[in-house]
Chains A and B, each alone.
Chain A
């Protein structure tokens, strides 16, 4: 009996010890704010994780030059730039966040994406270098009122237009794509002549996401966008229904081709479809895609998607920061890390990125003089002061629902009500 009791006590002690250990591991990191400070003179090393260099033809070259320029300014800081493939990049960041170790600086998207990693990142609003006059700050705030990235670069969603295929279809693109009704009519005309209007791939849902960003930005005025950014605009707001209605209208007009695109092809396939001359239009956000499109289909030009009838704007395209840079909470060199993030938003780095890798700057002091036909067509669209984006405020959970239900929705296998029911549930879960 004595023995049993002592065993019982030992068991209880073990459980209590385990509970204590577990409680001790509960983590209590506070959301410290990072302020802009002087970089210490001591030698230090920064590990930087990014997927960006692989996005551009001369990405590595551009980043080598940027690091060299950074080292000229901060010779005591050694930068170890680790380029990772995009498909697994955020998994690596998540793992680093859970283990509280890894990079000092990371590439990150703002808004909802950064919010999902908020326990790993320093708020940057008090660490922004006032010398940098950069765009896209407001829409990259997360719903908790913190800015977790220093936004850099610029993208803008527009349409690549194969003018040869338009000619073949008997449609003048400037006239046909001037209004929303014109776009719908163009789809009907082109598909009637056996030309697929939009190079499309719906299986992974990225095409629906793209349209969601493009159209919802048109439907949001400044106030609505501010509410959306703060998480105060529910997904039940009618504007989101309008977006989906307009996408379904495009589908009914034959904009996206047949079942091949609706169920089987991925968005990646759509790039190749356009490059091969099998689609008259293609939705893209990047200048480098436009350059490739032009190389493969020399009659390519870039045009804005026409405003939907409910648009609050005249000529807006969905445009914002290409990405941004965040400082991790476990960094041992927060000042150096913040200096690197700010350097990426500075004139020197952005000029290199524009000159070498064709990345449109978001620093207003950088002179981005368009020289190629695609730059001439695309850059003015991206720099249109009317532009904004609600892209970064879509919670990841909602995007997952959009991605997995895109093909069923567009092919009619899922009702709009069911689609929204799932999306709203995901939105509620995320908040």
Chain B
């Protein structure tokens, strides 16, 4: 059971090889830290200091330019006891129902474009086009398209589907699903691009072998493509979820102003209203902190999922070996 001399030497070599990397870091520590310092300071100044400041301010009846009284958690109590806040949070989670659509639709199209489709590059470019357009401009266009007497309803009426014509953006029941579809439209191209890149790294022989075994399109999709790029899928999911919490403002602001009522308002829009329109700086700060915590929680959850999936895969590989 004793190690051979060769094994001992090899182990020593491994340790030796490992040590310089570690010790080198320490040895070069002060210099390296000095070099990193500007970046670290910038990071703190740009990212963490404002966050800390907002968290600090959320404990005050914040009156920029006036006397700000410390009120503890009163802003949070006011927020959590306000039914309007919960309606907005509810809207936010309703939008999350669009997640499967936002993930599966670009994934399927990316999978289809992986095949030898004529003009695949052209299609990718066309799909990507909305991603480079300003959401404010796009939202204005959609507001015109979806207005009561706009082209969408006119088209529906022209083809005999007048009963489907709808006040799309001013109907409480319709407005959120419409926004879900618009977000799909806006993010679709980016999703296709990311999934195409991920799929291009999957060995082709896997699909060829499956085809030889008689596996169909959906079989290849679910059993080979999706598992092979699951990290990209999870990444895209997390990105979409964060987008729903952080990047909906321009859509909501231009399309609906949060209405009708509050039925399409998002947290970022509500924060804007509290801060800019009403001057309730303290509650806006509290709401910002809550939003940040939501996002941190979701990002952490995504990280755990990625880790679990990675563990499953390595287990699967070990089992196969």
Contacts and interface: CB of A to CB of B under 8 A. Distances in A.
B291 interface: no
Contact of B49 (A18, A29, A31, A408): A18
Interface in A93-133: 94-95, 97-98, 100, 116-120
Contact of B148 (A28, A264, A396, A429): A264
Interface string A54-75: 0000000000000000000000
Task: Please report whether the interface of chain A is mostly helix, strand, loop or mixed according to DSSP.
Answer: helix
Given A22-B53, A263-B167, A263-B171, A97 B260 contact: no
Interface stretch (B16-24, B61-69, B177-185, B242-250): B61-69
B172 A413 contact: yes
Contacts of A98: 64, 281
A424 interface: no
Interface in A333-388: none
A249 interface: no
B170 interface: yes
Interface stretch (A157-165, A179-187, A397-405): A397-405
A90 B275 CA distance: 11
Contacts of B60: 26
A241 B280 CA distance: 27
A119 B63 contact: yes
B261 A203 contact: no
Contact of A29 (B65, B148, B273, B280): B65
Contact of B260 (A29, A95, A203): A203
Interface string A205-225: 000000000000000000000
A94 B279 CA distance: 8
A90 B167 CA distance: 30
B279 A28 contact: no
Nearest to B171: A263
B64 A27 contact: yes
B277 A90 contact: yes
Nearest to A25: B53
A18 B64 CA distance: 19
A118 B66 contact: yes
A3 to B, nearest CB: 12
Given A27-B65, A263-B167, A265-B148, A116 B279 contact: yes
Interface residues of A, number: 43
A400 B278 contact: yes
Interface in A319-344: 329
Nearest to B48: A18
A234 to B, nearest CB: 19
Contact of B259 (A26, A118, A404): A404
Interface in A242-267: 259-260, 263-265
Contact of B65 (A95, A265, A329, A413): A329
B265 to A, nearest CB: 9
Nearest to A422: B84
Given A405-B261, A407-B170, A413-B172, A27 B63 contact: yes
Contacts of A91: 276
Contacts of A118: 66
Interface in B152-181: 167, 170-172
A204 B257 contact: yes
B65 A263 contact: no
Interface of A: 18-19, 22, 25-31, 90-91, 94-95, 97-98, 100, 116-120, 203-204, 259-260, 263-265, 329, 396-397, 400, 404-405, 407-408, 413-414, 422, 425, 429-430
Given A119-B64, A429-B82, 5 more contacts: A25-B53, A27-B68, A120-B65, A264-B147, A265-B148
Q: Which 5 A-B pairs have the closest CB atoms?
A: A119-B66, A119-B65, A264-B148, A29-B65, A116-B279
